[in-house]
Amino acid sequence: MSSRDALYIGGQWCAPLADGRIDVHEASTGEVLATVPSGGPADVDAAVGAAVDAFPAWSSTSVKERADVLRQVADALEAREDELAEVMAREVGTPIASSRRVQVGLGVGVFRSMAGVLEEAPLEQRIGNSLVLRVAAGVVGAITPWNYPLYQLAAKVAPAMAAGCTTVVKPSSVAPLAAYVVADVVHELGVPPGVFSVVTGRGAEAGEVLVAHPGVDLVSLTGSTSAGARVAELAARSIKRVTLELGGKSAFVICPDADLDAAVEAAVRTAYVNNGQTCSATTRLIVTRDRLAEVEGRLAAHVGALVVGDPLDPATTLGPVASAGQYRSIQGFLDDAADQGTVLVGGPGQAPGQDRGWFVRPTVVSRVANTARLAREEIFGPVLVVVPVDDVDEAVQVANDSDYGLSGAVWAGDVEQAVAVARRLRTGQVSVNGGRFNVLAPFGGFKRSGVGRELGEHGLAEYVELVSLQLPGDVPSTVSVPTAP
């Protein structure tokens, strides 16, 4: 991977005004993969200034112009699939096949889908004697995480661009390279200067400055719950709008009549996707006691068969976690696993056969009480806990007994029964008998999992403000008034 020496600000590659560099490490080796600038307050100020200057013209463009740009970005990113997939396999540890399908595919899909959403969204509406306008919210500060560098950037930048907002992106210092590829694409396409800028930097030196900047109107963050609380605190001082997509400890409920082969296979897939580095991963498996032993046997077989190794090897199904800090955090949970339940597979220590990098042993801990730390806190690694219950009613109670409410899953003997259980879960999305993720459906959570929604028409709505034009009483609703292009 090539190191980067500049920041993308106002349509140009600019030398950073702050000193310092950030090392980007390869997850499978721990070695330095590339370096990027460590931007500071002056760099953030320059990027926000460019976004403020670009906003009047960009927010006045037509729906067709903005939709065309979104599709062009999607096409250009898709053309660089191999490069992007390798970047995120090496930065994050995502196995290469999953990196192509999920890391790149979802990001491209969000840009492309948002063009269609924009074209179908009503930008104006008559309500009695009022003409209600949906107008761009302004300058967006987008702070993106390391686990899905392209997809999470797309989930913020695509609706912002669609709405007519301009955006400054502060990517994670752990995995910033995909944001540079997006900047390359935006530059090559000739997107107007200031519509999209990238400032790499550390949280206190760049991220917090971006959130507090008086030129920023809306802040969108994906990250930990503690980071979300800090952003909300800083944004509140200047009454900024915020959208926060935060942590999760999501439950997968297996009903007594479920097909266990299908349910367990799905439970493993959704718990260990991206090596467990997924906020919506269903990492609490809730099972009735009469089927617990059967589920444990299947889990041991499935998880034991995962191939841990180099994420660039097509045979690998579980790669390393993204950083030394994340590895240490996970090990802290695994050191206590045997005291909180029965370790079926895995446990503390480096994965066998791996003498460098940050490879965690894929782990299942069963017979865990829902009050245990393993069941309460987000681990963010390849660790699944099994919580036994007496019946479906207790399963629902346990699923909802969490500080989080981001995701979930239900598997039952038929879809109708599964939907009935899913309706009782207090969480932002629920997979029903294996239902797949949908980039057009709203994504976000309850409680400590965040504020607001991303994706589709609901995600676009986060980036607009509403204006009511009160028309004279003698203008009937049947009379045409000038509309937006």
Neighbour-count burial for 459-471, b at 16+ CB within 10 Å, e otherwise: bbbbbbeeeeeeb
Task: Give 369: exposed, middle or buried? Use CB within 10 Å, 0-12, 13-18, 19+.
Answer: middle
CA atoms within 13 A on the CB side of 443: 21
Q: Are strands 404-405 and 446-447 parallel, antiparallel or unpaired?
A: antiparallel
**What's the rounded Cα separation, in Å, for the pair 371 and 9?**
48
Contact between residue 192 and residue 115 where contact means Cβ atoms under 8 Å apart: no
CA 462 to each of CA 71, 157, 394, 458: distance values in angstroms, whole numbers, following the listed order: 21, 12, 36, 7
Residue 460 region by backbone torsions, left for phi larger than 0, else alpha for psi between -120 and 50, else beta: alpha
**What's the rounded Cα separation, in Å, for the pair 419 and 43?**
49
- Residue 415's identity, in one-letter code, is V
**What's the rounded Cα separation, in Å, for the pair 407 and 255?**
17
* Element spanning 331, H or E: helix 324-334
* Element spanning 75, H or E: helix 63-79
Contact between residue 9 and residue 174 where contact means Cβ atoms under 8 Å apart: no
CA 224 centroid distance within chain:
11
**What's the rounded Cα separation, in Å, for the pair 388 and 470?**
58
Residues belonging to the active site: 245, 279
- H helical segments located in 190-307: 208-212, 225-236, 260-272, 292-304
Q: Which of 394, 358, 51 is nearest to 196 (CA)?
A: 51
Q: Counting every residue, how long is the chain? A: 485
Strand partners, 13: 8
Specify the long-range contacts of residues 467-471, CB closer than 8 Å, at least 24 apart.
467/132, 467/133, 467/135, 468/127, 468/130, 468/131, 468/132, 468/133, 469/130, 469/131, 469/132, 469/133, 470/129, 470/130, 471/129, 471/130, 471/131
Contact between residue 170 and residue 140 where contact means Cβ atoms under 8 Å apart: no
CA 452 centroid distance within chain:
13
- Tokens 């041991």 locate to 300
Contacts for 163 with CB less than 8 Å, ≥ 6 apart: 118, 134, 136, 137, 460, 463, 464
